[in-house]
Structure 1
């Protein structure tokens, strides 16, 4: 059986080999593994790398139907990522292709960046850095404290819950809205109540038909003018044109955004690039040395489970 790792997993090969050996164990004798060192989004190249494999390993590279149709031997698509909206899951289900993800590998990393973005926005860290480097002073850079403020968590899965605990450590009150209420000690309210009452809104939901565009002009209009929006979830959850307008017209105070409705690099014309009081990062929340190791282990544990006939983390 052939396994094609069609994009790099951000782990040094020696470390990756140890992880693969530990995860697959005796199954290694029954597989061949081909690694590709450079990421590509070219469909013809993706087909060339994948067409002879029974198991294909990807990260967040788009893997649409047009590629899947040219992979007749494919039995498992192992997604080394939490989100899987870049994969045509419907096609995979129609053709009995197992799709697994690596949910949980970036929980800590993503929650920490959510708080990092919030601190950067509320304490003007980026403009303060720029001012200091260019002979400026603290004039106009007064920030605000998190202690005593209210954070609204939209989506209280693992990452949302971890973010809530970190916010509480700063002395923040946390209220939450989630499709599934959990016994986690958080105070749950309606969506509109959370949007209206919070000083900070932090988004932690996947992209679905229900969540796509869930934060638009109406929802931004519910927020306090002093409020900050944090998005380390998925870009299409937010209407980023409406968000840029809300920032530029002072309808909300600031935003920290790691995800967009396209993958970086962003064009200069992108609405949030020049939006006021905004800190943007290039979809980096999941990317720490520790999370990449966790991801590789989960990925090859998923493959071992599939080879053993008991797939895990199936989406």
Structure 2
């Protein structure tokens, strides 16, 4: 088999050498790419002879997939696969596995980093202290006893629920599937409308699908309390950015923490969220810890090994 790593995975070369060695010891070819490439002709050149492709979050469109006649599997060092041309993969019977669970703790932790920052004005307090100012104007709010509404109770949403309960928060949830382990935490599943109306904090942990695109639009934002905050560390297009910016600027909600956008950062200078009030923006870093990045590389190679043994795992498309 010819395994091609089409983009860097964010770990040291020594880690990739260690993970790829068992495959080469068995006679498989492994071709790594340690620099990100954006030229489609060069991408096709590197990918064209692959039986297996390893990618992270760079787009993989149909032209590239069509140019790989031997391609049988794509191992994605990421959770979502909406950056891959799924239609072409289905037509060519290409299996896709993802790095499920690699960043559950990392994303949940940043979720609460954003929540606490917004409630306690941490970023602004730092700036004020450096400018020789006092606590004047920085009386914050406690997380204790607040109602947190979680949209999507997959692995990350479940972890967020556990942490929220540790803060003695009431937790509401809305998800396609209601899970016993979530209910056993004391979480109440409710309609999306009830969640938005009653939550002090709304945090999004749902994948991007046709049904979730612009799920949080003007109509939904209008349901939220003026004192509430919105967190999105899932997928940018789940939230209508223009509607969110307007809700913040009109003080219809109190704040927002956003890690994801309609595109990968850098985001355009005229992006509506850049000029919105009470906004904390991070450049898609929720998943990005040293521990999670190495974990996803390990899972990505484990997926290939499992597939070669006819025991595919973390299957997103078969």
TM-score range, shorter chain: over 0.9
Matched, 1:80 2:81: no
Q: How far has the Cα of 1:15 moved from its partner?
A: 2.4
TM-score normalised per structure 1: 0.96
User: Which stretches of structure 1, 4 residues or longer, exceed 3 Å deviation after superposition?
Assistant: 25-28
Alignment check: 8 A CA contact 1:20 1:297 kept: no
Matched, 1:32 2:33: no
Alignment check: 8 A CA contact 1:244 1:272 kept: yes
C-alpha distance in 2, partners of 1:201/1:4? 40
User: Which residue is equivalent to 1:108?
Assistant: 105
User: Which residue is equivalent to 1:11?
Assistant: 11
- Is there any run of 5+ residues in structure 2 with no aligned partner, and where? none
Most deviating of 130-139 and 150-159: 130-139
Query: 1:139 is matched with which residue: 130, 136, 140?
Result: 136
User: Which residue is equivalent to 2:194?
Assistant: 193
- Is there any run of 5+ residues in structure 1 with no aligned partner, and where? none
User: Which residue is equivalent to 1:175?
Assistant: 172
TM-score normalised per structure 2: 0.95
Secondary structure (helix, strand or coil) at the match of 2:273 reads: coil
C-alpha distance in 2, partners of 1:28/1:279? 48
Q: How far has the Cα of 1:26 moved from its partner?
A: 6.3
Q: 1:43 to 1:194 in 2, by over 3 A?
A: same
Secondary structure (helix, strand or coil) at the match of 1:56 reads: strand
Q: 1:82 to 1:138 in 2, by over 3 A?
A: same
Alignment check: 8 A CA contact 1:200 1:230 kept: yes
Matched, 1:245 2:270: no
Secondary structure (helix, strand or coil) at the match of 1:61 reads: coil
Q: How far has the Cα of 1:27 moved from its partner?
A: 6.8
C-alpha distance in 2, partners of 1:12/1:4? 17
What do residues 244-274 of structure 1 show as CA deviations (whole Å, max 9, x unaligned)? 1101110000001100111100121011112
Q: How far has the Cα of 1:54 moved from its partner?
A: 0.9
Q: How far has the Cα of 1:44 moved from its partner?
A: 1.9
C-alpha distance in 1, partners of 2:120/2:192? 27
User: Which residue is equivalent to 2:212?
Assistant: 211
C-alpha distance in 2, partners of 1:28/1:67? 29
> Any residues of structure 2 matched to 1:50-89 within 5 Å, and which?
50-89=47-86
User: Which residue is equivalent to 1:256?
Assistant: 257
Q: Give the CA RMSD over aligned residues.
A: 1.3
Most deviating of 302-311 and 171-180: 302-311
